[in-house]
Amino acid sequence: MTNTAMPLHERLRPYRAAFTSRFLQMLQYRTAAYAGFATQCWWGGIKVMVLAAFYAGSAGAGAPMSLAQAITYTWLAQGLLALLPWLGDPEVAQAVRTGAIAYDRMRPVDAYTLWFVRSAGWIAARVLPRLALMLAFAGVALPLAGLGAWAWQPPAGVGAGLAFAASALLALLLSAALVMLLNIAAVAALNERGINALAAPVVIVFSGNLLPLVLLPDAWQTALLLQPLAGVMDIPARIYFGHFAGLQALGGLALQAGWIVLLVVLGRAAMGCTMRRLEVQGG
């Protein structure tokens, strides 16, 4: 039986296995998750205090987002920090350095899809524990401590919560598609350090992690919303708050999905070109 004649679930089995194995492997690094959570709480607290000072002054008057929403946005951004595509997959980078990338070229699977699901598993396993810990701290512990004004507030409604869940899943896929571009750049350059150093500040600013995009100048808003990094953090947050509801929420989800398709097509083309010219090093 040829590969194309196999049932779909059989053809998907190696990719499911790759995602699951990478996800479970990364979940073992609990100390890293706790350390990351503690660091994100520290920086989250600093950012919340800065926002509180901003809103307390005249600069906060007429802001398109309330202080409570800005605080929740901050905790949400800290919880989803590992979702940001500011680093290529270290497994791919190591394979490039050692020459083990040749093995992926010999496997009877699609190399792009294999790397994509591995990267998605790597991202998901880093995000979920930290997000759960952040929600427990900022959404439960702070209100119990009498700091409800500084806490993570619930979504605008049940519909907003469900739409946010769908948007968060699309954000994971979008992040994986962007990480794939970093992976391919690392393969082309035979080193990941340069591209990672360039990607980090761009991703932090244009995803909305540093500051909610809606608080940036009005003249930039259309361009900021349409660029792909908004779909990783800012669009899910706007859906969570109810800023995007109904057709606007559907438009946000469609924008995320559109960028995923476009980046996957671009990534496949770039990977094919890169692999044809690849010279394996290491050993």
Helix, strand, coil % over all residues of the chain, rounded to 5: 80, 0, 20
Instruction: Give percent above pLDDT 70 in the chain.
Output: 94
Whether residue 190 has pLDDT greater than 90: no
Q: Mean pLDDT, to the nearest integer, of 170-192?
A: 92
Query: Please, which pLDDT band fits residue 7 given cuts at 50, 70 and 90?
Result: confident
Whether residue 37 has pLDDT greater than 90: no
CB 282 within 8 A of CB 97: yes
What pLDDT, on a 0 to 100 scale, did the predictor assign at position 187?
A: 86
What pLDDT, on a 0 to 100 scale, did the predictor assign at position 280?
A: 63
What pLDDT, on a 0 to 100 scale, did the predictor assign at position 58?
A: 60
CB 250 within 8 A of CB 238: no
Rounded to whole angstroms, how far apart are CA atoms 47 and 211? 9
Whether residue 3 has pLDDT greater than 70: no
Q: Mean pLDDT, to the nearest integer, of 134-148?
A: 93
Q: Mean pLDDT, to the nearest integer, of 102-113?
A: 80
Rounded to whole angstroms, how far apart are CA atoms 250 and 269? 29
What pLDDT, on a 0 to 100 scale, did the predictor assign at position 1?
A: 38
Structure tokens at 92: 């791919």
Q: Mean pLDDT, to the nearest integer, of 264-272?
A: 94
Q: Mean pLDDT, to the nearest integer, of 69-74?
A: 93
> Helix (H, G, I), strand (E, B), or coil: what is residue 196?
helix
The overall average pLDDT reported for the chain is: 88
What pLDDT, on a 0 to 100 scale, did the predictor assign at position 264?
A: 97
Please, which contacts does 103-111 make with residues 24 or more away whose CB atoms are closer than 8 Å? 105/275, 105/278, 108/3, 109/14, 109/15, 111/271, 111/275
**Alpha helix (H) residue ranges in 80-157:** 90-98, 101-106, 111-134, 142-144
What pLDDT, on a 0 to 100 scale, did the predictor assign at position 2?
A: 42
Whether residue 36 has pLDDT greater than 50: yes
